[in-house]
Structure 1
Amino acid sequence: MGIQQTLQNVLTNPTFLVAWGIVVAVSLGVLVWDLWRNNAKLKSLMKFVWGFTVLYSGPLGLAGYWYSGRTQIDHDSLWRKAFRSVSHCYSGCGTGEVLGFSVAVGLLAFKTTGTIVLTFALAYFFGYLLTVGPLMQEGVGLTEALWDAFYSETASITVMEIVAISTDIWLAGEAGIGDVLFWSALVFSLTMGLLAAYPVNLLLIQFGVKEGMMNPAKMGSEMGA
């Protein structure tokens, strides 16, 4: 049995799907509790960013939040900056990808090429949007935020979507919107895109193409001052 068939079997297995749903629900519950109880000072858009990240990737997203997104982190680092950075891209791109595949396949009945084009377009749009918003909440002007998003996020979005969309097409290219595999492969592909884009963000920050989002520990101390 090949890798493709094995993954398809796992992604359509009822036991796995129920277990994954429970894990994601628990992860979201932990995130919401911690944001409300310990990290209410985080900007509202950052809370949505982490919410989408955990929704799409469950415990992996929660681990990324715990490691890099809480005001309680003891110090900042390149690795933490990169995960905060990729989470912005991911939350927006993931939304664009879900909408793109749903509309293209379920509403417009597009073939593969049309689905890819529409999904890429929506992923870029929402990916930039979820980067511009938090930047503006940190005090950056609209024009500067738009340019910064285009300049710093294009490489990350491109890599993320090439990996995510190709993975989804590979696993569920023949699936309809009413098939379990359509949705489970879509979620799986999102996480593959996140993992692929993380090292890209490491390099972008390392070489000064992007600065990464504000240190949440610093944000917490400033707002508590």
Structure 2
Amino acid sequence: MQVDALVARIERAFDPAREFLVPLLSDPVVMGAWALIVAVSVAVLLWDVREHNTALPSLMKAVWTLTVIYSGPFGLAVYWYAGRTQIPEDSLVRRGFRSTAHCYSGCGAGEITGILLAQGVLGLAVGWVAAATFGFAYLFGFGLTVGPLMQEGVGLREAVVDAFYSETPSITVMEVTAIGTDLLLAADAHVGDLLFWGALALSLSVGYLAAFPVNAALVRAGVKEGMANPAEL
């Protein structure tokens, strides 16, 4: 009962935001315009990578492509600020942005997969949707760290331990925020509804913003390294 009361209080607190956002995220014109903006942002990213940033490793290219697909012009702005080989100098803020983008690319793929299966296909209750989505996001984000570490010659056990300590805080904050935002806006939406996709897109970016200070703090503490300084490539 206490949990239900807490959820009800949170929903009431966010009612003004829901009343503003739900109609927008359900509007075909708004969502069509957003899809066009995302497509243009991805095209700009791919053009810049091909023309000016071919030195970026394949993993970094994939991370930035997914980041821009998830967040459109916001993702492109983050890439332009922190991910290009032309950045004038590196900084904690840029490293934090890159570290968050690395986590974001894997977690976003996991979140989309999880919420599509749990909410869109299986129609599970809200609690199960949240649990399944978090599980997939954690698995994908975890794998995106363990895999590259093992490719660099790190043993499986060491890679798993390293990924657990370095990624768990970021993934937890990102996904609790993103999943909470998505369910707050579209808990009853179906996969064929524009609101389902609009809320999912918005929630991903909200999760990125929430996780950025966590990643910056982990980078500063030496727990995470983030992606390499692109200016040195």
TM-score above 0.5: yes
Q: Does 1:83 align with 2:83?
A: no
Change (3 A) 1:91 1:142: farther
RMSD: 1.5
Tell me how far 1:200 sits from its aligned partner: 0.7
Q: Does 1:120 align with 2:134?
A: yes
Normalization by structure 1: what TM-score? Answer: 0.92
Aligned residue number for residue 145 of structure 2: 131
Separation (CA, whole Å) in 1 of partners of 2:155 and 2:64: 22
Q: Does 1:162 align with 2:176?
A: yes
Tell me how far 1:2 sits from its aligned partner: 2.1
Aligned residue number for residue 203 of structure 1: 217
Q: Percent identity?
A: 55
Change (3 A) 1:146 1:191: same
Change (3 A) 1:136 1:36: farther
Change (3 A) 1:104 1:92: same
**Alignment size in residue pairs:** 218
Q: Does 1:98 align with 2:112?
A: yes
The answer (yes or no) to whether the contact 1:45–1:133 under 8 Å persists in 2 is no
Q: How does 1:5-154 map to 2 (within 5 A)?
A: 5-135=19-149, 139=152, 141-143=154-156, 144-154=158-168
Separation (CA, whole Å) in 2 of partners of 1:135 and 1:169: 34
Separation (CA, whole Å) in 2 of partners of 1:135 and 1:61: 25
Q: Which residue of 165, 179, 185 corresponds with 1:171?
A: 185
Gaps of 5+ in 2: 1-14
Runs of 4+ in 1 over 6 A off after TM superposition: none
Separation (CA, whole Å) in 1 of partners of 2:48 and 2:210: 28
The answer (yes or no) to whether the contact 1:49–1:130 under 8 Å persists in 2 is no
Gaps of 5+ in 1: 221-225
